[in-house]
Structure formats: C-alpha cells, structure tokens
Amino acid sequence: MSTINKQTFKQYLSKFPEVDPPFTLTQESPRTFSSYNETFHPLMISEFIVQSEESEPDEFTEFVPCVKIPNTIGFHAVIYWKASLMNYQFILVTYTNTGVLIDKAIVAGTTNKEGELINSVASIDEDWIITIVSGKTPTQQADYNPKSSKAFSLEIMEGGYIVSSE
C-alpha cells in the first residue's frame, strides 16, 4: 500500500471516536453519531468502505462513522452506519494496521425484507462480545410481536476475525 493510502487510512480512522465498551447501538444512535462525528471524505468511502460492501453503493447511500473499538492489537475495529433505501445498518469492520479488510458483520439496524421490518439492536461489552437482539414486524401490522425476537452473539477475536457464538 502506498504512503498516501496509509495516510488516508489514518485519516479514515480519525473519523471514528474511540468509545470504551459497554455501549449499545439502537435506532436512535445514528442521529447522535451524525451530530458529533465528522463525515467521510468520498475518497475514504471508495478506498475503505466499498471494499467491505457486496455491491457498489448508489448516490443515495449514506455512510456515517460511529465508533472505533479501543485496545485492539494488530488490527483496527470500527463501526459505521449505512443508510440506503429501506435498509439501515450498523456494520462492524476490522482492518489490518495498513487498512486491508479482515472481516465484517452487520450488527444492528432496520431492514425491509419480504414484507417484514426486521429491527436489531446490539450491545457491545468489554470483552468484544456483541449481543444482538432482532425482531420482525410484518409491514401490514402496526404491532410488534415479541415472540418473533431472537438473540445471538458475535465476538471479535484476536487477529480481527468476527465469529458467531451461536
């Protein structure tokens, strides 16, 4: 990776304030992050975020830096928020110290899938364990059914890999 890209990676990481766990990501969190965190430069999106996306984002997709998880050794772990049409996600991404993608996982958000709204919240603890609670609401119904909820966990391992603890 060139010197310019290393500098760009440092600048990219600087957009994410370090937040000591425990903390929770909810539907209200993006408003707070948008208010306090600096926005990404378009070069940062194309250089670092697009490599973690399955498809090229369109011009209506928005990315907001959220947090950097502190005390990682040998890798960096950040969470950004992605807003696209009927799809809002908190995405955990891990990188090598030089900015190469290691792993990624969607940890919270709201998605419209097959006529159902799926809402997820995540709580991240000091041991890098992410507990996710997810529930579905059919779009034709106004009421949430708590029986549709499920909980599962992810864990950030040494080396930056994200594994399911199910």
Q: What is the DSSP string of 40-96?
A: PPHHHIIIIIGGGSSS---TT-EEEEEEEES--SSEEEEEEEEEETTEEEEEEEEEE
Higher pLDDT, 52 or 129: 129
Tens-place pLDDT, residues 112-161: 877 788 889 999 999 999 999 998 876 655 566 667 788 999 999 999 99
CA-to-CA dists, residue 36 to 61, 62, 120, angstroms: 20, 16, 23
Q: What is the token pair recorded at 82?
A: 């992605």
Contact in structure between 24 and 122 (CB atoms under 8 Å): yes
Residue 5: CB partners within 8 Å, gap ≥ 6? 47, 99
CA-to-CA dists, residue 22 to 105, 129, 147, 151, 157, angstroms: 18, 10, 26, 17, 17
Residue 114: CB partners within 8 Å, gap ≥ 6? none
Please tell me the predicted confidence (pLDDT) of residue 145.
Answer: 61
Q: How many CB atoms lie within 10 A of CB 54?
A: 5
3-state secondary structure of 99: coil
3-state secondary structure of 112: strand
Please tell me the predicted confidence (pLDDT) of residue 50.
Answer: 85
Please say if the pLDDT value at position 45 is more than 80.
yes
Please tell me the predicted confidence (pLDDT) of residue 22.
Answer: 93
Tens-place pLDDT, residues 53-74: 777 778 889 999 999 999 999 9
CA distance 33 to 91: 14
The vertex-155 CA angle with 94 and 91, nearest 5°, equals 45
pLDDT-derived band at 96 (thresholds 50, 70, 90) equals very high
Higher pLDDT, 33 or 69: 69
Tens-place pLDDT, residues 80-95: 999 888 889 999 999 9
